[in-house]
Structure 1
Amino acid sequence: MIELDRAGRTFKVKRATVHAVQDLSFSIAPGEFVGYLGPNGAGKSTTIKMLCGILTPSSGTVRVAGLDPSRRRTTLARRIGVVFGQRTTLWWDLPLRDSFDLIRLLYKVDRKVFDARLAELAETLDLGAFLRTPVRQLSLGQRMRGDLTAALLHDPDVLVLDEPTIGLDVVSKASIRAFLARLNAERGTTVLLTTHDLGDIERLCRRVMLIDHGRLAFDGTLEELMASAPGHATIEEVVTHLYTSER
Structure 2
Amino acid sequence: MIKVEHVSKTYKVFKRDAGFQSAFKALFHKEYELVSALNDVSFTIEDGEMVGYIGPNGAGKSSTIKILSGILTPEEGIVKINGQIPWKNRIAHVKEIGVVFGQRSQLWWDVPVLDSFQLLKDIYSISEKTYKDNLEELTSLLNLSDLLQTPTRQLSLGQRMRCEIAASLLHSPKILFLDEPTIGLDAVSKLAVREFIKSLNQKHKTTVILTTHDMQDIEALTNRIILIGKGRVLMDGTIDDIKIHGDNMDEAVANLYHEYQI
- In the alignment, structure 1 residue 242 sits paired with structure 2 residue 259: no
Q: Percent of aligned pairs with the same residue?
A: 50
Q: Deviations along 1:6-64, whole A, 9 cap, x unmatched? A: 00001112432211000000010000000000100000010011001111011111112
Match status 1:27 vs 2:41: no
**Count of residue pairs the alignment pairs up:** 244
* CA distance in structure 2 between the partners assigned to 1:65 and 1:142 by the alignment: 32
- Alignment RMSD: 0.8
For 1:164, what is the secondary structure of its paired residue? coil
In the other structure, the counterpart of 1:122 is 139
Are residue 52 (structure 1) and residue 69 (structure 2) matched?
Answer: yes
Q: Identify unmatched segments of 5+ residues in structure 2.
A: 15-31
Question: Of 14, 17, 35, which aligns to 1:18?
Answer: 35
Q: Which runs of 5+ in 1 are unaligned?
A: none
Of 185, 196, 199, the match for 2:202: 185
Equivalent residue for 1:233, pick from 216, 237, 247: 247
Q: Secondary structure at the match of 2:134?
A: helix
Question: Which deviations, in whole Å up to 9, do the C-alpha atoms of 1:177-207 show, x marking residues without a partner?
Answer: 0000110111100000000111001100010
**Aligned counterpart, 2:188:** 171
- 2:22 aligned partner: none
Structure 2: how far apart are the matches of 1:192 and 1:186?
Answer: 17
Residue-by-residue CA offset, 1:78-137 (whole Å, 9 max, x unaligned): 000000000010000010101000000000001121011100100000000111000110
State the TM-score, normalizing by the size of structure 1. Answer: 0.97
Q: Does 1:42 align with 2:59?
A: yes
Q: Which amino acid aligns with 2:90?
A: R
Residue 244 of structure 1 aligns with an amino acid whose one-letter code is: H
Query: Cα distance, 1:159 vs. partner?
Result: 0.2
Q: 1:134 aligns with which of 140, 145, 151?
A: 151
Which contiguous aligned blocks of 4+ residues in structure 1 show a shift greater than 6 angstroms?
Answer: none
> Separation in 2 of the partners of 1:224 and 1:35?
13
Partner-residue secondary structure (3-state), 1:34: strand
**Partner Cα distance (2:81, 2:183) in 1:** 26
